Structure 1
């Protein structure tokens, strides 16, 4: 297996470090050899005569002092230069791209040392040499080879660069000498090279594997640290979110109970009081209480859809002024009620966005501005920024501290509403606005100064000049428009809901049939409905989507259908979309109901 660059770098550092520390031992070894060989040169030694068997005195071969001195100098200079180079390289470091060049230079240095050490055999050994000198030379070379196995095995090329020339040159000296024993020594040197090279390979592979495991362990430790930190942050975030939701649910329980509580009193007053103007006032109050509950539930639904990631933007070219005018007509009365000035600068810009989602963002921003502004006013304007349009909502409200700029976009977070005044919302408006801006990939930013006011900006891309402008469909509020005489089949297992639907549809001029399940619906054979309105959860584990599909099969016609449910799970939206069924979440505002009903009848 070829080593990766980091593993090879670690092996190279090990070799460089070992060589950098080898100057003293190399100097001592070379000096010792010179002293020993110089001392034994031309010395008389006792030997046994092969012919007579008697002890005789013989003189060992004389070693040339010049050659021995030259060898000593060559060893010291080569070792010194190599050590200095290794220390310099370690001190200054190296890149992965430099490792090949460093290896080549080390191989050249070790090859030089191998040749010099091998030449020692030609200088000190011949047939007349002392057997002790020959044994010492072989012992030193064996020691050098063994040391090289541990020092240079991380990079086997360097081991070969030293040992192969050393033993080949020294072994060659023995091979050319007279005598079978000397020639056998030369052959052994060659075999020793092969054995040591294989041993170095085994050690090198083991070392590489050890380094790889160390890197893997370090990488694993780092990943675990990152995951531990991420888990800790996620845990903290989850705990904060859980605490915020717990606080919200406690407060939302109060918020939702308040209008329902008031609604009960209004209905009691309506049922027991005399008819007249006061009764109309009670009805208006009851409608307001119902609208307050519905608005809070709609806000929760919007937020749950964003969190579930089921909102899919439909981009088109839109004239921004149409939306600004619509929002002014809708929200300016709220500003007037607080004696605030509402101004909206006209703009002819055409943007590429999902205008339905952008309208929700701007409605949340403007409503927030009006809600938290006590005096002064609100200004909505547009600025061109290159190929984008910055839509800006200014207010002269209380301002937002810089440390709260991120917090206010967090769900269920509200500033200045400890009493849970529901007129100040649920703390989801800005979270919804930011979530929608992420879905559109159109950034939402905030600038604010305490006591001076705030400005929210959303950056929207401009549409190409030749883009076809689409308009948002708008049905004028006429409860009888297109509904008179239309046949509506209502399926709901709740008798009260069926009665309410019958009363409402009758007021629209519709002809309706109300049933509680699929079997009763299939029994209605005397007329074909123009539309089906069905609750999602029915008895016997029937679902509204299944019932609608079964009725369409029965009629052999894709009857326009409206699914109504109190279940806000994202799966309901996906199920309705896949079946080409309109979906409304309970409680449903009457105007939204007849608008949706009119639309499916028109489209169908």
Structure 2
């Protein structure tokens, strides 16, 4: 049974043959007419006239029939029958051309005989280029044509003609070989075209499949980002309020037992806040709103801050925390370097169960190697790339929340790339790890950037503050905290309420959530209040949204932007910058 591919190839070969027929019709009829005029005499004139009519009719019918079939089209199940039809028609055509030898050789001069044989040989050669795509059609044509010549020559019983017959027979063999090669070439060309078409279809299908997979992956990634942003926003609201309430509670008179409970609650809240801020850091990087602000700064300031915050965690686990002092001044973004170092040190403490954590600074010509050593569980070399991927953690299959979210090193990698720095990792499983960050040293003078400790008692802020937030618990928590700092608070959950309050009591400062109900933005609320009060009232945006597009929008406003859960200390510092303060 012939395959579909083979039928397609046969159809293309047959179409090619039939399209070639038109080019030989007029020349063939003209050659036949010239032969008639040259060879006719009183003994063969009628026969040659009938021969001329038969050649012309055969040529014209072949062309008409081919055009009709091409116009109608060839179905795959018709190729076998069409091949037989073409063989019969061209066998007849070959026999008609070959009959010229019967009609003229015996009555022609030697010159006429040579002309007859030369023309018939040329007709056979010309037919090879036209008919060879379908080799059996050419074979029957040339056999019928030149076979008639051979038989006519031999029947003359003239030894001089026998040599001509043998030469014609050898010529037929030669033509057959050439026709075979030509047929193979044409067939291979068509086969290659079908192979290319098949390959294009396969590539198109694979490309379409890949495009669908990419679209699905992008959809999944977008859904993941939306889910994380929505979940983060919804979690931040109550935790933000909880942190503010705890700050107020800690200023009240508590018993020792109550204070211990409050401290425990604060620790749990801080752990959750840390994870949420990690998500925020990652979202800010993804949103592209993190822009390095490089300057010269003392590295010791940063090391002291990290030690003050993280050394107690190491001590709680019984680990030795060491960070020898350095006088080095480096040139980079101190906030981003702090983020990198904080994540590296936090990871070192988290994955070290005995021994300790050591932070070293080594100078190498114009650069400084900031190194975090630990004696923790170590990392296999095969995992070096994986640990920098999002949500990847070693030895935390149970997803212990105390081991974080698996974003720390992903953030480190992105920050290192953003700053154009180099981070090296060396580790031995069971022995520990070392991360080395190369920083540029500088001789530039720096201002005093030591961290000033927060005052034991914050100066009172005598100001009227308008708080706009659509969450009632957040408004209540913010009001209680601000009142502890000496502020008078007006609370609104919408733009309409805030405008009514602002008309009656123009605020000294506005604290507004960025995303309010009914698609209202805090920036619009602030602008509306400023228009009503006809003054540029200081304002702070607060948001619990971590969607990249929201972060870009908020960052573009130019207003101070704080992320829920807001640290009371940072909120107080921001208020102090925007409002006059007085010590009570």
1:370 to 349, 352, 366: 349
- Matched residue of 2:373: which SS? strand
CA drift at 1:396: 0.8
- Matched residue of 2:259: which SS? helix
- Matched residue of 1:454: which SS? strand
**Cα distance between partner residues in 2 of 1:496 and 1:576:** 23
CA drift at 1:371: 1.6
Q: Flag the 1:566–1:395 CA change in 2: closer, same or farther, 3 A.
A: same
**Cα distance between partner residues in 1 of 2:222 and 2:375:** 31
1:509 and 2:490 correspond = no
1:545 to 498, 503, 523: 523
Q: Flag the 1:482–1:238 CA change in 2: closer, same or farther, 3 A.
A: same
Spell out the pairing of 1:18-417 with structure 2 (5 A cutoff): 130-141=111-122, 218=199, 221-222=202-203, 225=206, 228=209, 276-347=255-326, 350-383=329-362, 389-417=368-396
Partner of 2:509: 531
| TM-score, scaled to structure 1 | 0.56
**Cα distance between partner residues in 2 of 1:377 and 1:521:** 54
Residues 482 and 598, structure 1, Cα contact 8 Å, conserved in 2 = no
Structure 1 stretch displaced more, 210-219 or 414-423 = 210-219
Partner of 1:573: 551
1:446 to 400, 403, 425: 425
Residues 514 and 554, structure 2, Cα contact 8 Å, conserved in 1 = no
Instruction: Spell out, residue by residue over 1:483-505, the C-alpha distance to the aligned partner (whole angstroms, 9 max, x if none).
Output: 62233222234444333222211
CA drift at 1:571: 3.0
CA drift at 1:369: 0.3
**Cα distance between partner residues in 1 of 2:448 and 2:123:** 92
Instruction: Spell out, residue by residue over 1:149-204, the C-alpha distance to the aligned partner (whole angstroms, 9 max, x if none).
Output: 899xxxxxxxxxxxxxxxxxxxxxxxxxxxxxxxxxxxxxxxxxxxxxxxxxxxx9
Aligned residues, how many? 417
Residues 470 and 493, structure 2, Cα contact 8 Å, conserved in 1 = yes
Q: Flag the 1:378–1:549 CA change in 2: closer, same or farther, 3 A.
A: same
**Cα distance between partner residues in 1 of 2:513 and 2:484:** 20
Uncovered stretches (5+) of structure 2, i.e. residues with no partner: 1-37, 45-107, 133-184
CA drift at 1:399: 1.1
**Cα distance between partner residues in 2 of 1:229 and 1:520:** 52
Tell me which of the two structures has the higher relative contact order, counting C-alpha pairs closer than 8 angstroms and 6 or more residues apart.
Answer: 2
CA drift at 1:366: 0.4
- Matched residue of 1:130: which SS? helix
Q: Flag the 1:139–1:482 CA change in 2: closer, same or farther, 3 A.
A: farther
Structure 1 stretch displaced more, 311-320 or 565-574 = 311-320
Q: Flag the 1:455–1:275 CA change in 2: closer, same or farther, 3 A.
A: closer
CA drift at 1:539: 4.7
Uncovered stretches (5+) of structure 1, i.e. residues with no partner: 1-46, 56-126, 152-203
1:492 and 2:469 correspond = yes
Residues 358 and 373, structure 2, Cα contact 8 Å, conserved in 1 = yes
**Cα distance between partner residues in 1 of 2:196 and 2:448:** 60
CA drift at 1:360: 0.9
**Cα distance between partner residues in 2 of 1:240 and 1:565:** 23
CA drift at 1:455: 1.5
Q: Flag the 1:334–1:232 CA change in 2: closer, same or farther, 3 A.
A: same
- Matched residue of 1:513: which SS? strand
Residues 475 and 595, structure 1, Cα contact 8 Å, conserved in 2 = no
**Cα distance between partner residues in 1 of 2:330 and 2:114:** 96
CA drift at 1:218: 4.2
**Cα distance between partner residues in 2 of 1:150 and 1:478:** 103
CA drift at 1:419: 5.0
**Cα distance between partner residues in 2 of 1:134 and 1:209:** 38
